[in-house]
Amino acid sequence: MWGMGLKCSLVVLAVVFAAGCSAIKVDHLPGAEGLPLVGGDGVVPELEYLIRPGDDLEIKFFYTQELNEAIKVRPDGYITLQLIDELKVAGMTPKQLDAVLTEKYSKHLKDPSIAVIARSFKGFRAYVGGEVSVPQVVSLEGGMSVIQAIYRAGGTLPTANMESVVLIRKGPNGEPIPYHLDLSDGAVEQSKVDLQVALSPSDVIYVPRSPIANANRWVQQYITDLVLFKGIQLGFGVSYVIEHDKDNND
């Protein structure tokens, strides 16, 4: 799926990363100010669920059931259905997709009464890595904070530096944007807003062992490491394929 040039670039970045990204200082990164927060009752990152690559959809026709489909959204965000061409559905709500399909099938059917049902929400998740007990993907169930996701991953190792947690979030153009969160005991005592930051789909949480040097460069290298050595799709501009870590040297 990727061009050879891109593959080579990823390999080079992975070698640089494996050679050791020394200490990373995150103090100059943007902090929690302005990020969505989890309140007393929790907060859902989106008002309406948006369809994402990997989601399982069921398309049901009330009067022409032979056209019913159970289909998975491809990594490029498209689906293929009978009678119509490929259709990009990633970024739509199920209601919006229902309206689009109704319009398209009205050219072929007298009464295209359609229901779009999202059966699984595989895009609605985040990745937790670094100095945690079990680096893993976590599903975003209701409102979940960054610190809750870290607990979901088994908590931190004794070597974790909770003052310099990095949250990598997808920007408006799909680019990874890093944020610095202080989730240390001191932050708890001060009731810092960092502890209430809500997760959004495709977020990456990195709990470092030590401070980080060039944060922007490190973000790219860390995501490349996920691309090459792990097995899940993240939405940073391209589809990244990742699998579980073999050790804790994120």
151-202 pLDDT tens trace = 999 999 888 889 999 999 988 887 888 999 999 999 999 999 999 998 888 8
Question: From the CA atom positions of the chain, what is the Rg in Å?
Answer: 20
CATH number at residue 159: 3.10.560.10
The residues pairing with 180 across neighbouring beta strands, listed in sequence order, are 166
User: E strands of the chain, at which residues?
Assistant: 56-61, 69-72, 78-79, 87-88, 114-120, 125-130, 136-139, 165-170, 176-181, 204-207
Residues 140 and 33 in one domain: yes
Instruction: Quote the CA–CA distance of 176 and 168 in Å, as a whole number.
Output: 6
Residues 25 and 75 in one domain: no
Residues 78 and 198 in one domain: no
Q: Would you give the distance in Å from CA 152 to the centre of its chain?
A: 16
pLDDT tens digits, one per residue of 197-220 = 988 888 999 998 866 655 666 666
In a domain, 238, yes or no: no
Report in angstroms the alpha-carbon separations of 10 from 14, 50, 76: 6, 29, 19
Task: Give the structural domain span for 110.
Answer: 56-120
Contact between 213 and 25 (Cβ < 8 Å):
yes
Residues 85 and 10 in one domain: no
Residues 157 and 197 in one domain: yes
In a domain, 250, yes or no: no
In a domain, 241, yes or no: no
Range with the poorest average pLDDT among 19-28, 43-52, 63-72: 19-28
Instruction: Quote the CA–CA distance of 93 and 56 in Å, as a whole number.
Output: 13
In a domain, 239, yes or no: no
End-to-end CA distance of the chain: 25
Q: Is the pLDDT of residue 52 over 70?
A: yes
CATH number at residue 69: 3.30.1950.10
User: Higher pLDDT residue, 20 or 50?
Assistant: 50
Residues 12 and 31 in one domain: yes
% of residues, the chain, pLDDT over 90: 36
Residues 37 and 103 in one domain: no
Res. 236 pLDDT band, cuts 50 70 90: low
* DSSP 3-state of 23: strand
CB-based contacts of 160: which residues, under 8 Å, 6+ apart? 130, 131, 132, 207, 208, 209
**What's the structural domain count of the chain?**
2
Q: What is the pTM of this model?
A: 0.60
Q: Is the pLDDT of residue 63 over 70?
A: yes
Residues 36 and 92 in one domain: no
Residues 130 and 218 in one domain: yes
In a domain, 235, yes or no: no
* DSSP 3-state of 13: helix
Determine the longest span between alpha carbons in the chain, in angstroms. 65
